[in-house]
Structure 1
């Protein structure tokens, strides 16, 4: 089981490496600078298209309604933002936020191509220090981004701060398979096939090796549930998908 970040020293996980805490954001930025242009293609290949179903389920859990404000953190290439744009309608708004400018650039271009920027704003932002007013957001989603955040507890607290009372947080993230056999198959796939695909598609096997490692260092389902509760959320629960390879955690701001 992964544990909360160790607060007694000034290092943190970067995949299976330990790096100085202040170095992690830069190292993660390099990974996503490298893969940004082929990110969606790689997601389709890595998951066999399943990531689209995982995201669809997350959107259903969000219960977003017309006129609301949605913040999609680590929203990268904008696929969730485009869906939320239709749900909130002309009287609502969607904020596509990502710490990585290369990912945001790809996302902005794709949203322009879809004609979906009329109610979407694009903001470069760090999840740990969200630049939004207290109690201003109806729903926050973060899909496959929390594991890359240096201080997850700080980010969850920041999300709680900007949500309106009764607002929803949805964290979609790779997690821990519930079956030992599935776990073994998944490990073999992650550490053999992923870097190989990364090499072929993006000419970058190291970044995909990091992504596989970062999944293993991410808190398991129960640990992350406790972290969401510790950040002040209530009625917290999680849903496993694809045998626990992925889980979506939901919390409500009390």
Structure 2
């Protein structure tokens, strides 16, 4: 990937600040409206339920945080963390119209150095965020550090489909049409070219599950969605909650 002379962290921050206002629309368009269902599955996989305290890393515009908020209810809490100020501005604006606003808070922070003590959360999620991190393993280790023993770390992200023909059609769509859609609706083709390039370089769902294990998580597994275009990868921190 060409970061135009910037390091990855600076490039990603600038890119997502630029497309923040169109991000949710583009997600719906690119996923053909399936992204909401995918987020609900991630919420189920992390085991979110009433009264829990969940961290949503790289929360962006807060869509996954809001799904988590529904699951934990008024007795629980959700902390959404992102380092893009403009994405968080959109998240907070959307939250104002939500019935979950009492149990959700958004903070600006760095996924490489999570500003929380060890064993702080009942579960940790990250949606379409791991591939944007400058150090994938360090990010997973930080999420593992802050989750309580027995809690789950769950990633929802692009994956690598394996079905013949389907996978060729998918990558052609992603390489050619997605940047064009980005230019039309978000006036930023380069940002959506980055989404393609980062998805190409991101580990497969099988490999990511193995990396979860290397970072100290147990019972690592993945669930393919939409024919393997997207996958939910999860692992459990050793010990008892």
Report the TM-score, using the length of structure 2 for normalisation. 0.95
1:164 partnered with 2:120? no
The Cα of 1:178 is off from its aligned counterpart by: 1.4
Q: Which consecutive segments of 4 or more residues in structure 1 shift more than 4 A?
A: none
Q: Which residue of 2 aligns with 1:98?
A: 82
Q: Which residue of 2 aligns with 1:17?
A: 2
Q: Which residue of 1 aligns with 2:229?
A: 245
What is the correspondence of 1:123-138 to structure 2 with a 5 Å cutoff? Answer: 123-138=107-122
Q: Which residue of 2 aligns with 1:27?
A: 11
What is the correspondence of 1:50-129 to structure 2 with a 5 Å cutoff? Answer: 50-129=34-113
The Cα of 1:246 is off from its aligned counterpart by: 0.7
1:202 partnered with 2:186? yes
Q: CA RMSD in A?
A: 1.4
Aligned CA distance change for structure 1 residues 102 and 18 (closer, same or farther; 3 Å): closer
How many positions carry a matched residue from both structures?
238
In 1, Cα distance between the equivalents of 2:4 and 2:166? 30
Instruction: Classify the secondary structure of the residue corresponding to 2:97.
Output: helix
The Cα of 1:63 is off from its aligned counterpart by: 1.8
Deviations 1:184-231 (A, max 9, x none): 101111111111111110111111011111100001122111110011
Instruction: Classify the secondary structure of the residue corresponding to 1:207.
Output: helix
Aligned CA distance change for structure 1 residues 19 and 165 (closer, same or farther; 3 Å): farther
Unaligned runs of 5+ in 1: 1-15
The Cα of 1:57 is off from its aligned counterpart by: 1.2
The Cα of 1:126 is off from its aligned counterpart by: 1.3
Instruction: Classify the secondary structure of the residue corresponding to 2:30.
Output: helix
Deviations 1:34-66 (A, max 9, x none): 110010000011110111121111112222121
Instruction: Classify the secondary structure of the residue corresponding to 1:129.
Output: coil
In 1, Cα distance between the equivalents of 2:7 and 2:51? 39
In 2, Cα distance between the equivalents of 1:19 and 1:227? 29
The Cα of 1:18 is off from its aligned counterpart by: 7.1
